[in-house]
Amino acid sequence: MRLNPMFCDGAVFQAGKPLRIFGTGGGNIEIDFLGKTYAEEKTGTAWCMELPAMPYGGPYEMTITMAAKRQTIKNLYFGDVYVLAGQSNMQFKLREAEYTEDMCASDALLRLFSTETVDTGESFFPQDGWVAAEKEQVKNWSCLGYLAGAELRKRTGRAIGLITCYQGAADIQTFLPESAFENSAFRLDDKDRFDMHFPWNKGHSMLYNFQVRQIVPYSVKAVLWYQGESNNSEKESLVYGDMLSYLIHSWREAFGDENLPFAVVQIADFDGRNNDYWHRIQKVQAEIEYKEKHVKTVISRDICESDDIHPKKKYELAMRIADAFSALEK
C-alpha cells in the first residue's frame, strides 16, 4: 500500500469538509487521529478513507498504519485549501511580476503543495511535500496564488493551503477528463486548435490525468481558474464556454463536492491577439458566473497592461481574486 504524497508533515486540510485520506494498493489500513482509531480493509488498486469534518485549528499529529508499517505525520492544520489551476498567467512567478520586497514574507501557516509538471525545465517542489512560505522562496511561487493567499491569511487568520495544478501554454482540453470528449463538438481536428505544438496539448486530458488525478478527492475550499490564452482559434472559442462548464462540473465530481466554488479569471486584453476569438473567450468568462452556480468571474481587462500576454501588474488582480473568494464564502 502507498499513501498519496499529499499526506505528509505540514499538510493543510480543508476545515468543515470530510477529511479524505487516499492512496494506492490494497490491504489493512488504520488511522489514529485525535484520540480515535479508524480501521478498514481495502481491496483493489486505489483506496480512500473518509474521516469526519473538522473545525479550523492545529497543529495536530496523525498516525497511519498500512501493511504493518507505521507512519506519523505532524504539524497538520485545518484551514482553507485552494487549487491554483490554468496556464502561464497562473503559473507566473512573483519574481517575474512587479512587486516590492514588503510583499514577500515568511508565514508558517501559508503553505504550498506543488503537483508534478510535464515541463521538466520548470522548478517545482513536489519532493518537498507541503512547503511553508519563506520570504525568498515565495518569489518562485505563483504570483497570484501567493498574493491572494497572503491576503486571505490576513483577512481570516486561518491556515491557507495552495495546491498547484497549472502548466504554461496549456489549453483547456488537457484539463478535461476523457469523458468530455464523448461530445463530438469537443473533438477538434489538430488544424483547428491553437497551441498543438506543446506536448501536453497533444490529444487531450494529459494534465487531467497527470495533475488533477494526483490530488482528487482531496477536500478543498475552492478552485482558481486562469486560462484561455491557448484556445485562441475560431472553433475552440466557439465551444470554450461549454468546455469550461464541463470542466467545472467534472472537477466538482472528482473532488466529491457538487458545490465546489470556482473563481474564473478573465484573460486580459492583449494587443497581439486582438481578434474575435480572444474577445469571444473573454465574453464567455465574463458570463460564466451567471451560467453556473457558485462561480465568480474576476475581471482583469481594465487593470492589466495590454502590450504583454503576461501582464506584470498583478497585485490589484490578486486582491480581486481574494475578494471573489470572500464573496463565494458568504
Say if residue 20 is in the same domain as residue 133: no
Note the pLDDT tens digit of each residue in 5-18: 999 999 999 999 99
- Judgement on whether residues 114 and 20 belong to the same structural domain of the protein: no
pLDDT at site 128: 74
Enclosing domain of residue 38: 2-77
Which residues contact residue 129 at a Cβ distance below 8 angstroms, ignoring those fewer than 6 apart? 5, 6, 8, 9, 10, 11, 113
When the pLDDT of each residue in the chain is averaged and rounded to a whole number, the result is 93
pLDDT tens digits, 116-174 = 776 655 544 455 799 999 999 999 999 999 999 999 999 999 999 999 999 999 999 99
Cβ contact 251:212 at 8 Å: yes
With beta carbons less than 8 A apart as the criterion, state whether 66 and 3 touch.
yes
Check residues 1 and 246 and name the one with the higher pLDDT: 246
Predicted confidence at residue 127, as pLDDT, reads 57
* Mean pLDDT within 178-186: 96
**53 and 92 fall within a common domain:** no
181, 311: one domain: yes
The answer to pTM > 0.85 is: yes
**Same domain, yes or no, for 73 and 85?**
no
Q: Say if residue 106 is in the same domain as residue 161.
A: yes
Are residues 51 and 10 both part of a single domain? yes
Tell me if residue 156 falls in helix, strand or coil: helix
Choice among 161-165, 182-186, 201-205, 315-319 with the minimum mean pLDDT: 201-205
Rounded (5°) CA angle 228-232-238: 90
Q: Is 5 exposed, middle or buried (0-12, 13-18, 19+ CB in 10 A)?
A: middle
* Domain end among 77, 92, 123: 77
Residues 6+ apart with CB under 8 A from 329: 261
pLDDT of residue 301: 87
The residue with cell 486580459 is 268
What crossing angle do the helices spanning 143-156 and 315-329 adopt, rounded to 10°? 50
* pLDDT tens per residue across span 37-78: 999 998 888 999 999 999 999 999 999 999 889 999 999 999
Q: Are residues 94 and 45 in the same domain?
A: no
Domain ends where: 31, 50, 77?
Answer: 77
Question: Residue 22 above 60 pLDDT?
Answer: yes
Residues 72 and 83 in one domain: no
Task: Report the domain count for the chain.
Answer: 2
* Mean pLDDT of the 292-320 span: 93
Structure confidence at residue 119 (pLDDT)? 62
**CATH code of residue 12:** 2.60.40
What are the grid coordinates assigned to 299, written together? 475581471
- Per-residue CA distances from 291 to 130, 245, 284, 288, 321 (Å): 35, 8, 10, 5, 19
What residues have CB less than 8 Å from 155, skipping those under 6 apart? 322, 326
- Does residue 99 share a domain with residue 58? no
| pLDDT for position 80 | 98
Q: Are residues 187 and 292 in the same domain?
A: yes
- Quick one: DSSP state of residue 101? G
Residue that terminates a domain, selected from 26, 49, 77: 77
